[in-house]
Amino acid sequence: MRFLASVNGNVLVAGLLMGGLMLLARPAADGPGLFKANCSMCHGTDGKGFQALKTPDFTDPKWQASVTDKQITEVIKNGKKDTAMPAFEGKLKNEEILALVAYVRSFGSKKK
């Protein structure tokens, strides 16, 4: 029993260490940087969009209220059919897409 308990303890400590190292090794996805590099040419660095491209104004509370996080995630992953909005699945990692969803949402809370 005692032996088992100490083995379990070691496994637990090793597991925690590994988890901690993996977290350290993985940089948090940079929402603003990703947006600038992949989205701002069509959505504007300020997220307000361009009339000529028919991109929505992410700072508009009405737009923010009209979409769910899930919809934003799907649109970034799969693009929007019959529009210029491209699909980013396979180009961006899941966590990068999630960081972009959060960044798109953050435009709604910025008064400009």
Q: Which residues bind ligand HEC (CB under 6 A)?
A: 38-39, 41-43, 53-56, 67, 71-72, 75-76, 80, 83-86, 88, 100, 104
* Residue labelled with tokens 């090794």: 25
| Smallest distance, ligand HEC to C-beta of residue 31, A | 9
Helix or strand or coil: residue 89?
A: strand
Residues in contact with 107: Cβ distance below 8 Å, sequence separation at least 6, in sequence order = 46, 47, 58, 59, 64
Q: How many CB atoms lie within 10 A of CB 51?
A: 8
As a whole number of angstroms, the distance between CA 45 and CA 50 comes to 11
Helix or strand or coil: residue 94?
A: helix
| Smallest distance, ligand HEC to C-beta of residue 52, A | 10
Nearer to ligand HEC, 7 or 102 (CB): 102
| Smallest distance, ligand HEC to C-beta of residue 40, A | 8
Nearer to ligand HEC, 29 or 85 (CB): 85
| Smallest distance, ligand HEC to C-beta of residue 13, A | 40
